[in-house]
Amino acid sequence: MPASSNETKSKIATGPNAPGVPKTDPIIIADNVTRHFGGLMAVDVEHLEIQRGIITALIGPNGAGKTTLFNLLSGFDSPNSGKWSFDGTALAGIPSFKVSQMGQVRTFQLTKALSMLSVLENMKLGAKGQSGERLWSSILPWTWRKQDDEIEAKAMDLLARFKLDTKADDFAASLSGGQRKLLEMARALMSDPSLIMLDEPMAGVNPALTESLLEHIVDLKKHGMSVLFVEHDMQMVSHIADWVVVMAEGKVVAEGPPSAVMKDPAVIDAYLGSHQGTDLGVVTGRIDLPDLSKSKGSK
C-alpha cells in the first residue's frame, strides 16, 4: 500500500523546513547557481535539493525566477556561476538533449508539439536510441523496422493512457491547448525518464481538463517517477504536491509541505501578499484530489 501523506512528508527532509534543507535521497542537488541578465539577477540559489520519488512544486510570483531555474537545470540555458547534479552526475555545461538522454526530461509552458506531424508521429519522436535515425541504418529498413513497431506500440499505449489514442492520426495542430499539454506529457514519457519537469502544466487549460492533468501528474509518481513542476496557483499545488519550494526575486525563500508553506511569513510576504482579497485558505493538511471519476471527459 502507498505511504500516507504524513509518512511521505516525514521521509523527505532531514532537518527543519527552511531554504536549502537537505533531503533524504535527493535526485537534484544545486549549489550557488546564479543567472543574471544585465543588472537583473534572475536566479540566485545558494543551495537546493529535490527529493527523489515525490511531487515537488516550485512556486512564486511572476518574475521570481522559476522558469529560468528550470531552463538552467534542464540545459536550455547556461548559468553565470554555480553547479548542480542529477542522480549523482554533474550537469553544468551539459546540453539539453544529453540531459534528456540521461533521464531528466521537461515540458514547456508553451507546448512544443510539431503541428504538421500527426499525434502519433510526435510521440515516436520522443523515443531515444532509435536505429533508424542513423544515416546508414535509415536506408536499410529491415535493421530498424522491428524497433519502430515496438516504439509505435509503446506510443499507442501511452496515448490510450492519456485518452488521446483516438487522435493518433490527427495533426497535432488540431488539438486543443489542453490536449497539447497531455501530448507533451505523454511524449516525455516515451524516453522512460526518472525525473519529469513540468513548466506550468495547467496554464491555459480549461477547468474540465485541469482535473485530468492533475490525475496524470499524480500517476507519474505512482509509476515511479520524480516530478518537479512550476505553478503559481497555491490552491492547485496543495492538491497534489508533497513538498513546495518557494522562490521570490530569484532566491529560494521557503520550503516545506504545502500546509507549512502556506503559513510561512516569508511566503506571505513574497507570494501570498500579492493575492490580498483572494481566499487562498489556511491549509491544515494536504487536500485530497477531487473525485475525478465524476468529471466530464475532455474535449
Q: Check: pTM over 0.85? Answer yes or no.
A: no
* pLDDT for position 168: 92
- Residue given cell 512544486 in the structure block: 57
Which runs of E-coded beta strand occur in the chain? 26-37, 40-51, 55-59, 81-86, 89-90, 104-106, 195-199, 226-230, 243-248, 251-256
Does the domain at residues 5-113+177-280 carry the CATH identifier 3.40.50.300?
yes
Please give the average per-residue pLDDT across 254-267, as a whole number. 86
Structural domain boundaries of the chain?
A: 5-113+177-280, 115-174
The CA distance from 155 to 173, in Å, is 18
Going by pLDDT thresholds of 50, 70 and 90, the confidence category of residue 292 is very low
* pLDDT for position 205: 76
Cβ atoms 56, 220 nearer than 8 A: no
Please give the DSSP secondary-structure letter assigned to residue 82.
E
Cβ atoms 248, 64 nearer than 8 A: yes
Residue 148 pLDDT > 50: yes
Angle between helix 177-188 and 207-222 (nearest 10): 10
What are the pLDDT digits (tens) for 35-47?
999 889 999 999 9
Please give the average per-residue pLDDT across 191-198, as a whole number. 92
